[in-house]
């Protein structure tokens, strides 16, 4: 099984329809300077406790990852699949793609 890479618009509709764990895998510094998607958890993929925090989330719940442009969220999504998450997505283009589509961010 693998994760799904979807457009920001498609992810926005998934967030509206389902109860989702939305995970921002950027550093807290990036999150505060670039803004973040409302309702997202911040679990830095480069942090020493990423795997532990990921495993604390419900594996039966849809999980969506994003980063700055897509590289780190692809790694995080693959880790989630390997760990037993069943419904895994990443936002194509990351927060950059999200904002360039005019979708809202918090600061």
- Provide the pLDDT for residue 1: 78
CATH topology of domain 4-100: Oxidized Rhodanese; domain 1 (3.40.250)
Are the CB atoms for 90 and 8 separated by under 8 Å?
no
- Provide the pLDDT for residue 50: 98
CA–CA gap between residue 8 and residue 31 (Å, rounded)? 18
Question: Edge-to-edge strand order for the sheet containing 20-24?
Answer: 4-6, 88-91, 62-66, 20-24, 41-42
Any idea where the domains of the chain sit in the sequence?
4-100
pTM, two decimal places: 0.97
pLDDT per residue as tens, the chain (107 positions)? 799 999 999 999 999 999 999 999 999 999 999 999 999 999 999 999 999 999 999 999 999 999 999 999 999 999 999 999 999 999 999 999 999 999 999 99
């Amino acid at each position: 099984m693998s994760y799904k890479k979807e457009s920001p618009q498609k992810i926005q509709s998934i967030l509206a329809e389902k109860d989702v764990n939305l995970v921002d895998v950027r550093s807290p510094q990036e999150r505060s300077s670039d803004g973040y998607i409302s309702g997202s958890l911040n679990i830095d993929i480069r942090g020493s406790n990423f795997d532990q925090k990921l495993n604390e989330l419900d594996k039966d719940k849809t999980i969506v990852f994003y980063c700055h442009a897509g590289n780190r969220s692809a790694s995080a999504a693959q880790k989630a699949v390997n760990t037993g998450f069943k419904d895994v997505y990443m936002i194509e283009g990351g927060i950059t793609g999200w904002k360039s589509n005019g979708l809202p961010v918090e600061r």
